[in-house]
Structure 1
Amino acid sequence: MSAAPVPRFPRPSVRTVLAAALATLTAVTATACSTSSPNSSSKTADTASTGDGSGKVIQVVAAENFWGSIATQLGGSHAHVSSIITNPDTDPHDYEPTSADARTVAGAQYAIVNGVGYDAWADKLLAANAAGGRAELKVGDLVGVRPGGNPHRWYAPGDVHKVIEKISADYKKADPADAAYFDQRRTAFETKDLASYDKLISDINSKYRGTPIGASESIVTPLAEGLGLKMLTPGSFLDAMSEGTDPTAKDKAAIDEQIKNKQIKIYVYNRQNSTPDVQAQVKAAKDAGIPVATVTETLAPADATFQQWQTTQLQGIEQALAKATGR
């Protein structure tokens, strides 16, 4: 079911909520159990054999459910993954942590955060409970994106595979006795579960490379690059929409001109961040006969796997491109 468009506003301060959440950490011991989220278990069956493994279960926390879904599928029965951001209507940029989130972080042996300023609240939660022996993965650091860069790395296909490799390696380091099991999980995930995802990316890149597109915000940029599409929307507009600030009149006029003159073949927008400016652009594109495709910031529906979510969106983009180009 599609979530209703949710306007994104300038980032509010989370200091008060963080203070309350972090205060609970003083009552949490090093052996605290992680709190399960609705997306803490995968819809993919655990088909790999556990053999004579250790029976160990790694307690994992992921700041966002798109990374949590991948971690769940790679970990199988030897990892219990709790994702903090699970509601499709929640904006991860300005999420306000709860006391339950603090307890989840306190009990985690492995933490996955996006980084690049996307989930600074998660960094603060981790810093407030610097548990000895806890491994941490910051995706931005892994893929070499510095502060100020585009944080939406789950939309960069190459980065997704780097994260898969790293999570699998970290699982094996945390639980060497089950290394063969984690290798099986990774192989099955990359060759079977992600097969449709990887094929769609390859097909779109091969068939529509260089096709000019427009978009509502910078979340689309890494995906466009991965698909070989040419982004015409001004980068300053894309960044403003992602950061919740007002775009300039110059940028809006440029986009209006691109739509009016059909300089873009399709328009892609984040329906979880549909501001009045974006809604106006979507309407203008449709009125001009330009196909429109949608993406979302987090898993939609919330119980979908990463590959189900991404494949559905890629199919929508592929259909829009086919309609626009006749190919």
Structure 2
Amino acid sequence: MRSSSKFRTATALAAVSVAAAFALTACSSSSSKDEGITVVASTNVWGDVAQAVAGDKLTVTSIINEPSADPHSFEATPADAAKITDASLVVYNGGGYDQFITDVLDAGKGEQKTVNAYNLLDGGIHAGETAGESHDGHTHGAVNEHVWFDIPTVDAVAHSVADQLSALDPDNAATYEDNAKAYSQKLAGVTAITDSIAAAHAGAPAAQTEPIAHYLLVAAELKDATPEEFTSAIEDGNDPSPAAIAATRQLLSEKQARALVYNIQTQDKVTQDMRTTAETAGVPVVEVTETLPEGLDYIQWQTQTAESLANALSAQ
């Protein structure tokens, strides 16, 4: 957990760290392909998706496994940089979320294959962009990089992983493709829950402590009523203005929101106060995280989260 002051370090400092890490690992083994195909993911979220596609043919290594780790500010160690540089395939979130991966890839200039989830958002129209960049004169500042909550993007990642692994390991291509198709069917179960929420509660207002579950609310056709100034400040590790805090507190205390989506991995005094306000007013709290909770795979995690949101809305 972090305080709201300086939890997320500057990208420039991270880049310096990555450059140093790469320098220390440049003389390591030239390629892990000598020992077989290796797959590395930035977080256990994408690691779990990739593992579902790889099945029992390969073992996927996730750099970030700890629930308390924040990918925004994570700095790769020399060992991490070596794993990323030597991997046959790297699967990561992109969009500036897990910048340490991009820094290592750019420093290494390797030839490994990659799957960038953010670049697959909305059918890949954001390829080559990061959040806030412009495209055809339009700024994507509203585009949210937390794309693991966007089921179509996760499905696209699974199939992209299958394509990349099939190219690396043609003998097992059919297995990878079948695994990706089976995964699509499992993802459809999560979509069925959000579709049912939309059918029953379309347009209902909800609040968030920060915009982690943006795509979950979009899929459920809910309205995020939280002041953007509040969620942006929390996400950036800053203190929201007194006016933004007061507006968000009023939103909850007067039950203008039907549920509070609460990121338990980035709690601070401000967000804890909002949770207390919500609970006192009788507004249900839906807990979300940025990495896999212990003991759950991606499908279980997203199913539980969607069901929690459905139950919160139905309880009122």
In structure 2, relative to structure 1, the CA distance for the partners of 1:8 and 1:247 (3 Å cut) is closer
Name the counterpart of 1:197: 190
In structure 2, how many angstroms separate the alpha carbons of the residues matched to 1:177 and 1:221? Answer: 39
Asked if residue 152 in structure 1 is aligned to residue 146 in structure 2, the reply is: yes
Structure 1 residue corresponding to 2:311, chosen from 293, 308, 319:
319
| More off after superposition, 15-24 vs 285-294 | 15-24
1:84 counterpart SS class: strand
State the number of aligned residues. Answer: 296
Matches within 5 A, 1:101-250: 101-132=80-111, 134-143=112-121, 144-145=125-126, 146-147=129-130, 148=132, 149-191=143-185, 193-250=186-243
Relative contact order: is structure 1 or structure 2 higher (C-alpha 8 Å, sep ≥ 6)? 1
How high is the TM-score relative to the length of structure 1?
0.84
Q: In structure 1, how many angstroms separate the alpha carbons of the residues matched to 2:36 and 2:190? A: 29
Could you tell me how far 1:299 is from its partner in structure 2?
A: 0.5
RMSD across aligned positions (CA): 2.0
Q: 5+ unaligned residues in a row in structure 1: which ranges?
A: 35-55
- CA deviation map 1:288-312 (0-9, x unaligned): 11111110111011x4211111112
> 1:94 corresponds to which letter in structure 2?
S
More displaced stretch, 59-68 vs 303-312 = 303-312
Deviation at 1:177, TM superposition (A): 2.6
Could you tell me whether the CA contact under 8 Å between 1:14 and 1:96 is conserved in 2?
A: yes
> What SS is found at the alignment partner of 1:194?
helix
TM-score by length of 2: 0.87
Counterpart of 2:140 in structure 1 is none
Post-superposition shift, 1:195?
4.8
Matched-pair contact (CA < 8 Å) for 2:53–2:179: yes
Q: Percent identity?
A: 30
1:167, 1:236 → 2: CA distance? 37
Aligned to 2:136: none
Deviation at 1:58, TM superposition (A): 3.0
State which of 70, 82, 90 in structure 2 corresponds to 1:91.
70
Pairwise CA distance, 1:181:
1.1
1:126-155 CA deviation, whole Å, 9 max, x = no partner?
1222223x1112222222344223110001
What is the deviation of 1:273?
0.7
SS in 1 for 2:56: helix
Structure 1 stretch displaced more, 307-316 or 5-14: 5-14
Instruction: Give the whole-Å Cα distance in 2 for the aligned partners of 1:158 and 1:234.
Output: 27
